Amino acid sequence: METVSTSRAFGGTQGIYRHASTSTGTTMTFAVYVPPHEAGARLPVVWFLSGLTCTHANVTDKGEYRRACAELGLIFVAPDTSPRGEGVPDDPAGAYDFGLGAGFYVDATQQPYAQHYRMWSYVTDELPALVAEHFPADMERQGITGHSMGGHGALTIALRQPRRFRSISAFAPIVAPSRVPWGAKAFTGYLGSDHGAWAHYDAITLIKRGARVGDLLVDQGAADEFLADQLLPELLQEACEAAGVPLTFRLQPGYDHSYNFISTFMADHLAWHAERLR
C-alpha cells in the first residue's frame, strides 16, 4: 500500500492511499480518515460508498465528515466507484452512467467488463482486509452508508451481510435498480439479461426475499431531480413496512441530489452510526 498524501484535520489524519488490487486487476485509490485516539485503541469504521461519476475525492473534499468523526471516534473509509486505468473498458458512447465511475458495486460477469469490474469483491473483501491490516480499525464494529449509486451499494451489501454491519444508512439511494434506467443499463452491461442475476444487487428484491437488517436511516431531498424516475424511495418504504424492517425515512424539503444535501445531514448520519457502534 502506497501513501499518496496525509494531512491533519481536527486532531486526526486524513490520508489518501493506493494499492494494486487483485480484485480489479488495477491500481485503486481510497481515502481513510483516522480520528484522534489513544495509543492501542481500536476504533469503529464507517464505510462511505460514492455515487455515479464520483471518486473518493468527492466526499473527501465536500462531505464535511471529519469534525463529526473526530468527535465521535469514527474511522471513515471512502473507496473509489470503479476500476480505472489503461485497458479498463468504458461505456462505448462515453456516457456518465456506465463504465468508469459507475461500477454499481457489482461483480461483472459479461465481457469486456468481467475482468476488471469486480467492485463487490473489492469493497466487501479486499479493501476491508487492507484497512484491518494498516489502520486501528475494530472490524467487529462496522457501519456502512452511501449516496445514490453508493446508497444502492450500502443497502445491498448490508442486506446480504447483516451480521457484518451494525449500522446502515443512505443518502438518496437507488433502492430498486432493476426497475430504473440507471440500474437496468448497468445490470444489463455488467450482468447480462438474466434478471435472476440482478436480484442479488437489488435492495427491494432482497427484502422481499427475506433479507433483514436491524434498522435503516435514509435521507432524501424533496427537490432531487432524480427522485421520480431513478430513486423511487416509496418502494423502500413499502418493502420495509411489509417486512417489519424499522426504517427512519426523512424527506428533506428543498434539498437536491448534490453534496450540499449530503454535507448538511452527514453529521446526523455519523451520529446514528456512532450510537450503534459503541
Q: Which residues are catalytic?
A: 148, 224, 257
Q: Which residues pair with 43 in a beta bridge?
A: 137
| Contact of 76 with 162, CB cutoff 8 Å | no
Instruction: Specify the DSSP element, H or E, that contains 197.
Output: helix 195-198
| Contact of 231 with 150, CB cutoff 8 Å | no
- Cα separation, 25 vs 86, in Å, equals 11
Give the DSSP per-residue string, 216-252: EEEEEETT-TTIIIII-HHHHHHHHHHHT--EEEEEE
Backbone CA torsion sign across 101, 102, 105, 111: negative
Environment class of 264 (CB within 10 Å of its CB; exposed 0-12, middle 13-18, buried 19+): middle
Residue 219 φ/ψ region, left for φ over 0, alpha for ψ in the -120 to 50 degree band, beta for the rest: beta
Going by the DSSP 8-state scheme, the letter that residue 125 receives in this structure is I
Q: How far is CA 144 from the centre of its chain?
A: 7
Residue 82 φ/ψ region, left for φ over 0, alpha for ψ in the -120 to 50 degree band, beta for the rest: beta
Identity at 57, one-letter amino acid code: A
